[in-house]
Amino acid sequence: MSVSVRFVEGPIADEATRDCSSIECGARLVFDGIVREMEDGRRIHAIDYEAYRPMADRELERLARETARRFPIHAIEVIHSVGKVEVGRCSFRLVLRSAHRQEALAAAAHFIDSMKRDVPIWKHPRGSE
Protein backbone atom coordinates (compact mmCIF):
# COMPACT_ATOMS: atom_id res chain seq x y z
CA MET A 1 0.00 0.00 0.00
CA SER A 2 1.37 3.35 -1.08
CA VAL A 3 0.14 6.54 0.62
CA SER A 4 1.33 10.02 -0.37
CA VAL A 5 -0.08 13.29 0.99
CA ARG A 6 1.30 16.77 0.31
CA PHE A 7 0.51 20.43 -0.08
CA VAL A 8 1.82 22.61 -2.88
CA GLU A 9 1.93 26.38 -3.19
CA GLY A 10 -0.41 27.61 -5.92
CA PRO A 11 -2.03 25.51 -8.66
CA ILE A 12 -1.17 21.84 -9.12
CA ALA A 13 0.85 21.11 -12.26
CA ASP A 14 -0.13 18.21 -14.51
CA GLU A 15 3.19 16.51 -13.92
CA ALA A 16 2.79 16.71 -10.13
CA THR A 17 1.28 13.22 -9.92
CA ARG A 18 3.65 10.40 -9.02
CA ASP A 19 3.62 7.17 -11.00
CA CYS A 20 2.08 4.53 -8.77
CA SER A 21 1.75 1.75 -11.30
CA SER A 22 1.30 -1.86 -10.31
CA ILE A 23 0.50 -4.97 -12.32
CA GLU A 24 -2.19 -5.75 -9.72
CA CYS A 25 -4.13 -2.60 -10.60
CA GLY A 26 -6.71 -2.47 -13.36
CA ALA A 27 -7.94 1.00 -12.40
CA ARG A 28 -6.22 4.35 -11.97
CA LEU A 29 -8.68 7.04 -10.95
CA VAL A 30 -7.61 10.70 -11.08
CA PHE A 31 -9.93 13.33 -9.66
CA ASP A 32 -8.99 16.98 -10.17
CA GLY A 33 -10.77 19.73 -8.28
CA ILE A 34 -10.79 22.81 -10.54
CA VAL A 35 -11.49 26.37 -9.42
CA ARG A 36 -14.72 27.40 -11.14
CA GLU A 37 -15.74 30.91 -12.13
CA MET A 38 -18.85 31.11 -9.92
CA GLU A 39 -18.59 30.71 -6.14
CA ASP A 40 -21.65 31.25 -3.92
CA GLY A 41 -23.42 33.05 -6.76
CA ARG A 42 -20.62 35.52 -7.49
CA ARG A 43 -18.05 35.65 -10.26
CA ILE A 44 -14.49 35.19 -9.02
CA HIS A 45 -11.03 35.19 -10.58
CA ALA A 46 -9.21 33.05 -7.99
CA ILE A 47 -9.40 31.34 -4.61
CA ASP A 48 -6.84 31.72 -1.85
CA TYR A 49 -6.55 28.42 0.04
CA GLU A 50 -5.44 28.47 3.64
CA ALA A 51 -4.71 25.46 5.84
CA TYR A 52 -3.81 24.98 9.46
CA ARG A 53 -0.85 22.92 8.32
CA PRO A 54 0.07 20.86 11.40
CA MET A 55 -3.49 19.60 11.76
CA ALA A 56 -4.26 19.49 8.01
CA ASP A 57 -1.13 17.41 7.32
CA ARG A 58 -2.02 15.01 10.12
CA GLU A 59 -5.71 14.75 9.14
CA LEU A 60 -5.04 14.22 5.42
CA GLU A 61 -2.56 11.47 6.26
CA ARG A 62 -5.00 9.87 8.73
CA LEU A 63 -7.85 10.06 6.23
CA ALA A 64 -5.73 8.61 3.41
CA ARG A 65 -4.68 5.66 5.58
CA GLU A 66 -8.23 5.13 6.86
CA THR A 67 -9.52 5.13 3.26
CA ALA A 68 -6.82 2.63 2.28
CA ARG A 69 -7.88 0.32 5.16
CA ARG A 70 -11.60 0.66 4.45
CA PHE A 71 -11.45 0.11 0.67
CA PRO A 72 -9.41 -2.44 -1.31
CA ILE A 73 -7.10 0.08 -2.99
CA HIS A 74 -3.39 -0.30 -3.69
CA ALA A 75 -2.31 3.34 -3.70
CA ILE A 76 -3.64 6.76 -2.76
CA GLU A 77 -2.05 10.10 -3.57
CA VAL A 78 -3.43 13.41 -2.33
CA ILE A 79 -2.22 16.86 -3.38
CA HIS A 80 -3.90 20.05 -2.15
CA SER A 81 -3.04 23.65 -2.95
CA VAL A 82 -2.41 26.43 -0.51
CA GLY A 83 -2.17 30.05 -1.65
CA LYS A 84 -3.69 31.57 -4.78
CA VAL A 85 -5.23 29.36 -7.48
CA GLU A 86 -6.80 31.04 -10.52
CA VAL A 87 -10.08 30.06 -12.14
CA GLY A 88 -9.64 27.04 -14.41
CA ARG A 89 -6.61 25.71 -12.52
CA CYS A 90 -6.35 22.60 -10.36
CA SER A 91 -6.44 23.06 -6.56
CA PHE A 92 -6.91 19.43 -5.47
CA ARG A 93 -5.87 16.09 -6.94
CA LEU A 94 -6.71 12.61 -5.73
CA VAL A 95 -5.16 9.60 -7.44
CA LEU A 96 -6.28 6.08 -6.53
CA ARG A 97 -5.10 2.69 -7.83
CA SER A 98 -7.17 -0.45 -7.35
CA ALA A 99 -7.86 -3.78 -8.97
CA HIS A 100 -11.27 -2.62 -10.19
CA ARG A 101 -12.96 0.74 -10.82
CA GLN A 102 -15.77 0.26 -8.29
CA GLU A 103 -13.34 0.27 -5.35
CA ALA A 104 -11.56 3.39 -6.60
CA LEU A 105 -14.83 5.26 -7.22
CA ALA A 106 -16.21 4.40 -3.77
CA ALA A 107 -12.92 5.30 -2.08
CA ALA A 108 -12.79 8.65 -3.91
CA ALA A 109 -16.32 9.62 -2.83
CA HIS A 110 -15.55 8.66 0.77
CA PHE A 111 -12.22 10.51 0.83
CA ILE A 112 -13.51 13.74 -0.72
CA ASP A 113 -16.62 13.93 1.47
CA SER A 114 -14.57 13.26 4.61
CA MET A 115 -11.85 15.75 3.64
CA LYS A 116 -14.36 18.56 3.09
CA ARG A 117 -15.90 17.83 6.48
CA ASP A 118 -12.82 17.09 8.64
CA VAL A 119 -9.67 18.76 7.29
CA PRO A 120 -8.94 22.39 8.28
CA ILE A 121 -8.59 23.89 4.80
CA TRP A 122 -10.39 27.16 4.07
CA LYS A 123 -11.02 28.88 0.78
CA HIS A 124 -11.20 32.63 0.33
CA PRO A 125 -12.70 33.56 -3.06
CA ARG A 126 -11.28 36.63 -4.81
CA GLY A 127 -14.01 38.54 -6.61
CA SER A 128 -13.47 39.82 -10.12
CA GLU A 129 -14.88 43.28 -9.44
At 71-103, the pLDDT tens digits run: 999 999 999 999 999 999 999 999 999 999 999
**Three-class SS state of 52:** coil
Sorting pLDDT into bands at 50, 70 and 90, what band is 25?
confident
Indicate whether 53 pLDDT > 90. Answer: yes
Residue 46 C-alpha from the chain's centroid: 18
The residue-averaged pLDDT of 44-62 equals 97
What are residue 74's phi and psi, to 5 degrees?
-100, -25
- pLDDT exceeds cutoff 90 at 129: no
Helix (H, G, I), strand (E, B), or coil: what is residue 58? helix
CATH homologous superfamily of 2-12+23-127 equals: Molybdopterin biosynthesis MoaE subunit (3.90.1170.40)
> Cβ neighbours of residue 41 under 8 Å, at least 6 residues apart?
none
The 10s digit of each residue's pLDDT in 110-128 is 999 999 999 999 999 999 6
Q: Return mean pLDDT, the chain.
A: 93
8 A C-beta contact, residue 1 and residue 71: no
pTM over 0.75: yes
